[in-house]
Amino acid sequence: MSQRSAELEAILAAVPVDFADGNADFNAVRAMMAPFHGHPVAADLHVEIRALGPVAAGWYTHARNADSPRLAFHCHGGAFVSCPLAVYHFYGEIIARELDMRVVMPDYRLAPEHVFPAAHDDCFGAYKALLESGVRAADICVLGESCGGSLALGMLLRARDEGLPMPACFVSVTGWFDLSVPGVMVGRDPFLTPAWVRNRAREYSAGKLALDDPALSPAHADLHGLPPFYLQVGEFDTMGEGARILAANASRAGVEVTLEPWPGMIQGWHGLVNAAVPEARDAWAAIRRYVDARLPP
């Protein structure tokens, strides 16, 4: 393992040891997540909430990119059960700033009040509406963070099956792609444990799907015809093995895949960029280089 920055080590040391308690239910998860979200955004970020197909969506722009055709469509995290859009504006700001792009995030419904396939349907409906509004698929980068990786990839699979055009690329920000959480954990990931993830998957699926069902775990889906993938995987990320399975299966299906290991990293380290964590800053810089090479200027 490479040496982690002092900034990252200080933050990880402050994470409660029971943050990812395998016995926690969705109410406990919501309470635990709350202090980590809802941060105010910068004054120079324009935030607008408006309908996008079946859901409301957040639109995030800076003056310098307000007229750019390039757009990031982001399916945010929250473990399927927590963190509605109202507390996730800070992540729209991160993407808009770090990638210098307009950003849209659908406010998908949360479990267990709305179980599978509600969140998947909402993300797909938003993507379809975005295309119908006149945005070119070639100008779109789709991102998925945490559970949003599963939602984003599921959205792309349905879009492919329904004949919708594919975006320029798909970027995984430590996405969840196999909710059965295979493999053996290496080191400590303070934000996730296998049991915790499986419980969130059961709450979303209402226990009606096997956790490795391709509908929940797109690493096992038929992946042909999808856009290029860029997968950043932390060394200690609980969900890293699912990303590696996805990469292997996508490559076999003819998808262009870039799988990038990040030594010493854990689930969701990208979100720490506002805390001046250099590893997060470097990860976003790498994503920007990838996206800039695939979207029109």
CATH fold of 6-294: Rossmann fold (3.40.50)
pLDDT(167) > 70: yes
pLDDT band per the 50, 70, 90 thresholds, residue 2: low
Which residues, other chains included, contact 291 with Cβ-Cβ below 8 Å and sequence gap of 6+? 72, 99, 101, 141, 168, 169, 171
In the sheet that 257-262 helps form, which strands lie side by side, from edge to edge?
A: 46-52, 55-61, 102-106, 71-75, 140-145, 169-173, 229-234, 257-262
What is each CA distance from 53 to 204, 240, 255, 288, in whole angstroms?
Answer: 22, 32, 28, 28
Angstrom distance (rounded) from CA 120 to CA 259: 24
- Among 257, 259, 264, 258, residue whose Cα is nearest residue 280: 264
Q: What is the pLDDT of residue 183?
A: 75
Give the chain's mean pLDDT.
96
Instruction: Give residue-wise pLDDT tens across range 68-101.
Output: 999 999 999 999 999 999 999 999 999 999 999 9
Q: What is the pLDDT of residue 63?
A: 94
Q: What is the pLDDT of residue 17?
A: 86
Angstrom distance (rounded) from CA 131 to CA 201: 29
pLDDT(279) > 70: yes
What is the pLDDT averaged over residues 257-280? 96
Instruction: Give residue-wise pLDDT tens across range 30-77.
Output: 999 988 888 899 999 999 999 999 999 999 999 999 999 999 999 999
Angstrom distance (rounded) from CA 89 to CA 69: 21
DSSP string, the chain: -PPPPHHHHHHHHHS-TTTT-TT--HHHHHHHHGGGS-PPPPTT-EEEEEEETTEEEEEEE-GGGTT-S-EEEEE--STTTS--GGG-HHHHHHHHHHHTSEEEEE----TTTS-TTHHHHHHHHHHHHHHHTT--GGGEEEEEETHHHHHHHHHHHHHHHTTPPP-SEEEEES----TT--S---S--TT--HHHHHHHHHHHHTT-S-TT-TTT-GGGS--TTPPPEEEEEETT-TTHHHHHHHHHHHHHTT--EEEEEETT--TTGGGGGGGT-HHHHHHHHHHHHHHHHHS--
Angstrom distance (rounded) from CA 24 to CA 38: 21
Check whether the bond before 54 is cis (ω within 30° of 0): no
Instruction: Give residue-wise pLDDT tens across range 234-261.
Output: 999 999 999 999 999 999 999 999 999 9
| Tokens matching residue 17 | 């040891």
Q: What is the pLDDT of residue 95?
A: 98
Percent of the chain with pLDDT strictly greater than 70: 99
